[in-house]
């Protein structure tokens, strides 16, 4: 049973437009949710997080929204840039462990 799901394996957007990456989870005990970005042949790097007691966190072009009742979070990137092209992993944290989704490959076209 996969506790963190990213149902879209890929997403393609035009430069300057908004990218919306989605993530669903099943465990209501998760304390934090995090987004990581991964380029080929590199380890993931932390992008932005949100506590389970919040519903929005913004950092520059990146905003994460959390809907606890729906057990859903999303990452908004606006405006999208070609350098944002990467694999984005959603992760949920509880009891000392982080559980990852399968990732969404974002391609931003110039």
Partner 1 sequence: GAVVSQHPSRVICKSGTSVKIECRSLDFQATTMFWYRQFPKKSLMLMATSNEGSKATYEQGVEKDKFLINHASLTLSTLTVTSAHPEDSSFYICSANEQGSGSPLHFGNGTRLTVT
CB-nearer residue toward partner 1: 40 or 110: 40
Block residue for tokens 């509880």: 94
Cα–Cα distance for residue pair 73/24, rounded to 1 Å: 6
Cα–Cα distance for residue pair 109/14, rounded to 1 Å: 5
CB-nearer residue toward partner 1: 69 or 97: 97
CB-nearer residue toward partner 1: 9 or 82: 9
Nearest by Cα to 8 from 87, 81, 82, 78: 87
**Site residues, partner 1 (CB under 8 A):** 2, 4, 9, 31-32, 34, 36, 41-46, 49, 89, 91, 93, 96-103
Taking the complex as a whole, the smallest distance from the CB of residue 110 to partner 1 amounts, in Å, to 25
| Radius of gyration of the CA atoms of the chain, in A | 13
Taking the complex as a whole, the smallest distance from the CB of residue 16 to partner 1 amounts, in Å, to 28
Taking the complex as a whole, the smallest distance from the CB of residue 15 to partner 1 amounts, in Å, to 25
Residue 84 φ/ψ, nearest 5 degrees: -80, -10
CB-nearer residue toward partner 1: 15 or 102: 102
């Amino acid at each position: 049973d996969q506790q963190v799901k990213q149902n879209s394996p890929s997403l393609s957007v035009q430069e300057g437009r908004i990218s919306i990456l989605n993530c669903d989870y099943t465990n209501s005990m998760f304390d934090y949710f995090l987004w990581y970005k991964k380029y080929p042949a590199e380890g993931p790097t932390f992008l932005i997080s949100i506590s389970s007691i919040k519903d929005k966190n913004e950092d520059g072009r990146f905003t994460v929204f959390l809907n606890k009742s729906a057990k859903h979070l999303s990452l908004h990137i606006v405006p999208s840039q070609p350098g944002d092209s990467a694999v984005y992993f959603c992760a949920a944290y509880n009891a000392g462990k982080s559980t990852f989704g399968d990732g969404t490959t974002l391609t931003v076209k110039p």
